[in-house]
């Protein structure tokens, strides 16, 4: 088992911010900085101080707010002016870092930098030397091989340059997949090569963009190949399709048994806040944080998810939602759903139901879902009330009334034939059973249960919901319910619902 702790380097305030349609101001950056400290990332890249005065001042301010655990990093091109500004901006942090970079990929050196490789190498070494001369003993220097992902054909040159950059004073070497162009394995193999070639005390970092949607995979596998510092952004913000999404890598490593030094429970709230502050919405199928990413709609999935909902692993989901501070795992009912979903939805809505009842009302709810699509909970509970509390059949209660203590009158119809029978027994329920028996409809009560209801149900104030389990001569046992403001009337309504129900089973 891998016991190396990952080191999360967040670039939301630099790489994420630079790609926003409306970059954050100082006040907004302070707010996000706070979120990052709460989430517990180990390093925050606060900005690119050389880019403009506002960024310089923001970096200066955030550096002064940092605690003594968190590395505060400023980005600088491999030029003296940028490095000086980066240093000035972050020097008051408890743990300052200058992060300088240059491209070593053949394509970029030739067409973008328009320089010979040896000249580029010299710029890299000089930049690191200069940064190291400024940073002091509490700080350190990070060097990034911009476009490392494209350094497929010149790895000996890259490794040679990195060895000299390390000699010059860089202690973290970052290998960015600046543009994700090919397969993760191609990148990860070269990360592994750098890990083996550089001294053991050098921290290897990866910085993966998500152009082909594989930044999480590439980062996770790079970690197992020896990269310790993992760079990304909250909500996967960043240029084009964004950066590696820190939540996904954190959870993936957690699931692999790695000790992840982040407050994972902060993830969901952080994600919602970042979406609001950045103006970049979370798409509903986004892994872990998408609104719909914990919904189950097919009957098979619902059945598995419900049976295992209190387990940490659980069927048909990557994590228990509480791991990332969510409590909204959802069972949505469509025509693809099944009885377990109905059972769960009614119970979650606060109403009593048995699995036998769920099976019974499933066809009516499925029929509605075929027409409407996913049914809102209220729609489902409406059908539940209709199918459970107003069961149609040959029996119809007209009136139930007390004559004297121990004597009750039951007026009802059976197939339109009227009955008016007096039943005798101590309580109203047993007196009604007696009356039904006299009229030729004997019933046996197995179990009786009173459910107290607070407030309103279906717009009627109700204080009694009766559940009866009954056996009839045909051998059937059913659960039937009645709803009324009077307990006695609720019991009698339950009995009559049961009579119709049993009639339907014959
Ligand atoms: Zn980047």
Alpha carbons 466 and 429: distance in angstroms, whole number: 11
Count of C-beta atoms within a 10 Å radius of residue 371: 8
- Choose the weakest-confidence range: 164-173, 193-202, 379-388: 379-388
CATH class of 7-262: alpha beta
Split at pLDDT 50, 70, 90, the class of 103 is: very high
pLDDT of residue 216: 98
pLDDT tens, residue by residue, 225-269? 999 999 999 999 999 999 999 999 999 999 999 999 999 999 999
pLDDT of residue 87: 98
Q: Name the β-bridge partners of 408.
A: 402, 423
Percent of the chain with pLDDT over 90: 78
Distance from Cα 257 to the centre of ligand 1, integer Å: 28
Distance from Cα 288 to the centre of ligand 1, integer Å: 22
- Domain positions in the chain are 7-262, 295-389, 395-505
Residue 187 scores a pLDDT above 90: yes
With a CB cutoff of 8 Å and minimum separation 6, the contacts of 346 are: 353, 358, 380, 381, 384
Split at pLDDT 50, 70, 90, the class of 460 is: very low
Per-residue DSSP letter, 322: G
Q: Beta strand pairing status for 407-414 and 395-404?
A: antiparallel
Alpha carbons 463 and 268: distance in angstroms, whole number: 39
Distance from Cα 185 to the centre of ligand 1, integer Å: 20
Distance from Cα 175 to the centre of ligand 1, integer Å: 10
Protein residues placing their CB within 5 Å of the ion ligand 1: 15
Count of C-beta atoms within a 10 Å radius of residue 107: 12
pLDDT of residue 462: 47
Distance from Cα 218 to the centre of ligand 1, integer Å: 14
Highest-pLDDT range among 242-251, 426-435, 471-480: 242-251
Residue 47 scores a pLDDT above 80: yes
Distance from Cα 323 to the centre of ligand 1, integer Å: 28
Distance from Cα 33 to the centre of ligand 1, integer Å: 18
pLDDT tens, residue by residue, 144-162? 999 999 999 999 999 999 9
The tokens of 373 are what?
């699509």
What is the chain's mean pLDDT, rounded?
A: 92
Split at pLDDT 50, 70, 90, the class of 463 is: very low
* Alpha-carbon distances of 278 from 25, 46, 48, 336, rounded to whole Å: 11, 16, 18, 36
Split at pLDDT 50, 70, 90, the class of 120 is: very high
Alpha carbons 290 and 281: distance in angstroms, whole number: 10
pLDDT tens, residue by residue, 327-348? 888 888 999 999 999 998 998 8
pLDDT of residue 446: 74
Distance from Cα 5 to the centre of ligand 1, integer Å: 23
pLDDT of residue 467: 56
Distance from Cα 197 to the centre of ligand 1, integer Å: 24
Distance from Cα 238 to the centre of ligand 1, integer Å: 7
pLDDT of residue 476: 66
Distance from Cα 22 to the centre of ligand 1, integer Å: 18
Distance from Cα 174 to the centre of ligand 1, integer Å: 11
Supply the pTM of this predicted model.
0.83
Q: May I ask the CATH architecture of the domain 395-505?
A: 2-Layer Sandwich (3.30)
Residue 456 scores a pLDDT above 70: no
Distance from Cα 284 to the centre of ligand 1, integer Å: 25
């Amino acid at each position: 088992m891998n016991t190396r702790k990952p080191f999360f380097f967040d670039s939301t305030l630099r790489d994420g911010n630079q790609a926003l349609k409306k970059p954050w101001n100082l006040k907004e950056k302070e707010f996000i900085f706070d979120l990052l400290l709460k989430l517990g990332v180990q390093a925050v890249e606060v900005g690119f101080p050389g880019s403009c005065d506002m960024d310089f001042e923001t970096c200066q301010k955030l550096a002064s707010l940092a605690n003594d655990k968190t590395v505060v990093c400023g980005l600088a091109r491999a030029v003296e002016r940028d490095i000086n500004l980066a240093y000035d901006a972050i020097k008051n942090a408890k743990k300052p870092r200058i992060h300088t970079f240059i491209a070593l990929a053949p394509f970029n050196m030739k067409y973008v930098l328009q320089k010979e490789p040896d000249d580029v190498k010299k710029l890299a070494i000089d930049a690191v030397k200069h940064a190291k001369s400024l940073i002091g003993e509490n700080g350190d220097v990070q060097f990034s091989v911009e476009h490392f992902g494209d350094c497929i054909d010149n790895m000996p040159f890259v490794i040679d340059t990195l060895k000299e950059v390390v000699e010059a004073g860089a202690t973290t070497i970052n290998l960015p997949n600046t543009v994700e162009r090919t397969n993760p394995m191609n990148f990860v193999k070269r990360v592994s090569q750098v890990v083996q070639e550089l001294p053991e005390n050098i921290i290897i970092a990866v910085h993966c963009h998500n152009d082909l949607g594989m930044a999480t995979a590439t980062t996770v596998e790079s970690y197992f190949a020896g990269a310790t510092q993992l760079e990304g952004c909250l909500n996967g913000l960043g240029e084009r399709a964004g950066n590696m999404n820190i939540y996904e890598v954190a959870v993936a490593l957690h699931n692999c048994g790695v000790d992840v030094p982040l407050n994972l429970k902060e993830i969901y709230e952080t994600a919602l806040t970042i979406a609001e502050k950045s103006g970049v919405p979370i798409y509903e199928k986004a892994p872990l944080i998408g609104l719909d990413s914990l919904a189950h709609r097919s009957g098979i999935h619902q059945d598995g998810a419900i049976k295992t909902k209190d387990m940490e692993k659980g069927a048909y989901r990557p994590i228990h939602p509480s791991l990332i501070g969510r409590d909204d795992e959802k069972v949505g009912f469509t025509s693809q759903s099944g009885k377990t979903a109905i059972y769960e939805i009614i119970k979650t809505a606060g109403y009593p139901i048995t699995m036998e009842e769920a099976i019974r009302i499933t066809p009516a709810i499925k029929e509605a879902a075929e027409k409407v699509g996913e049914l809102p909970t209220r729609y489902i509970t409406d059908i539940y009330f209709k199918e459970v509390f107003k069961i149609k059949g040959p029996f119809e209660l007209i009136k139930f009334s007390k004559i004297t203590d121990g004597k009750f009158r039951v007026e009802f119809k059976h197939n339109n034939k009227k009955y008016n029978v007096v039943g005798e027994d101590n309580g109203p329920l047993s007196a009604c059973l007696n009356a039904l028996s006299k009229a030729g409809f004997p019933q046996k009560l197995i179990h009786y249960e009173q459910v107290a209801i607070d407030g309103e149900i279906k717009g009627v104030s109700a204080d009694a919901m009766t559940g009866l389990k009954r056996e009839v001569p045909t051998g059937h046992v059913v659960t039937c319910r009645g709803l009324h403001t009077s307990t006695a009337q609720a019991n009698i309504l339950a009995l009559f619902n049961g009579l119709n129900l049993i009639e339907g089973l014959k």
